[in-house]
Structure 1
Amino acid sequence: MPTTKTHAEEHQEQWQEIVADPILRDLPYKVETNHRGQIVLSPHKNQHSRQQKKIEKRLDSLLQSGEAFQEWAIATSGGTKQADAIWASDERRAEMEKTGDPTTLAPEICVEVMSASNDWDEMKAKIALYRDAGADEVWVVDETGRVHFFADEELEQSDRAPDFPDTL
């Protein structure tokens, strides 16, 4: 009996083609795909990279039994997205690895850093995609450096990392 692939699995296969393409893999931009599998390029400024590094270092210092990373690819039902930063427990990372590369299971925390090319409609869509893929929380850092924490609704602070500051 034939099996039907999920949208995330289809995006996972498309992503493998993208990362194998010698022209695309060395682009100096964040590369994602949309719900149709089309490539979306997001160039960002150095401040964006500094924010990512701050987030990664702070998460690693606050949370034990896991690790933070930058630019983590997650195949979602709406395309392959690269969270600007993530934190995954050791157990979750092992589960994620079983789903392939890019993972179809989101880590516990996904973080997006907004830039001039982003708007809140895009962020709300990414929040939903990451949550649908299994993220416990999605954080959005706006252009002023304020951190917005989301689970089922917006939170005053992170439940996963309550000591994480609300401003970077």
Structure 2
Amino acid sequence: MDWANVINNPYLKDLPFKIELNKWGKILMSPASNHHGILQSEAVFYLRNQLPAGRVIVECSINTADGVKVADVAWASHEFMQANGETTPYQQAPEICIEIVSPSNTQAEMDEKIQLYLERGAVEVWICQSDGVVRHFSREGQLTQSGLTKESVHLM
């Protein structure tokens, strides 16, 4: 299955799950909670206030080396949007990709997503814990604060 089949399949619309594909086209699903949605909205609000020149994208699909992954929230610069528009999925990652950790996520899964997004061109990957504390990563490893917003982020 490819991403176009997923987004156009009437049986997969309006599911209370986040859907991704692995490199073999197998659908992966993880349940969403209201707390997850609250953290997503806080991330959107934060990014719109701190980086107003770009676009904030919720449920941003990115074609990675391990299939299509969906960042919970992403921030894309004007230049990224000019180059990539609304292509679905993006072949390149926006500058910031944010994953909000759910109880079903493992550390290994989060580590893999960090690598996959960075390999596709993300400048930073933010991992938001359930308490709203955000860890920032770049190609150099974990950062003490975001290099793009110039501060440590806490979303609650």
TM-score bracket relative to the smaller structure: over 0.9
Instruction: Please show how residues 2-81 of structure 1 align to structure 2 within 5 Å.
Output: 14-81=2-69
Contact 1:111–1:138 (8 Å) recurs in 2: yes
Contact 1:84–1:112 (8 Å) recurs in 2: yes
Contact 2:16–2:32 (8 Å) recurs in 1: no
Name stretches of at least 5 consecutive residues in structure 1 with no aligned partner: 1-12
Contact 1:157–1:166 (8 Å) recurs in 2: no
**C-alpha distance after superposition, 1:22-43 (max 9, x if no partner):** 1112322111011221001111
2:128 is equivalent to residue 141 of structure 1: yes
How many residues are paired up? 155
Q: 1:146 corresponds to which letter in structure 2? A: V
Identity of aligned residues (%): 37
TM-score, with structure 1 as normaliser: 0.87
Show the counterpart of 1:83: 71
After superposing on structure 2, the runs of 4+ consecutive aligned residues of structure 1 that deviate more than 2 Å are 163-168
Q: 2:2 corresponds to which letter in structure 1? A: Q
TM-score, with structure 2 as normaliser: 0.93
Contact 2:124–2:137 (8 Å) recurs in 1: yes
Show the counterpart of 1:158: 146
Quote the Cα distance in structure 2 between the aligned partners of 1:20 and 1:69: 19
Q: Secondary structure at the match of 1:23?
A: helix
Quote the Cα distance in structure 2 between the aligned partners of 1:90 and 1:25: 30
Quote the Cα distance in structure 1 between the aligned partners of 2:47 and 2:152: 8
State the 1:167 CA deviation: 5.2
Q: How much is the aligned-residue C-alpha RMSD, in angstroms?
A: 1.5
State the 1:96 CA deviation: 2.2
Show the counterpart of 1:103: 90
Quote the Cα distance in structure 1 between the aligned partners of 2:10 and 2:152: 39
Contact 1:62–1:164 (8 Å) recurs in 2: no
Quote the Cα distance in structure 1 between the aligned partners of 2:152 and 2:47: 8
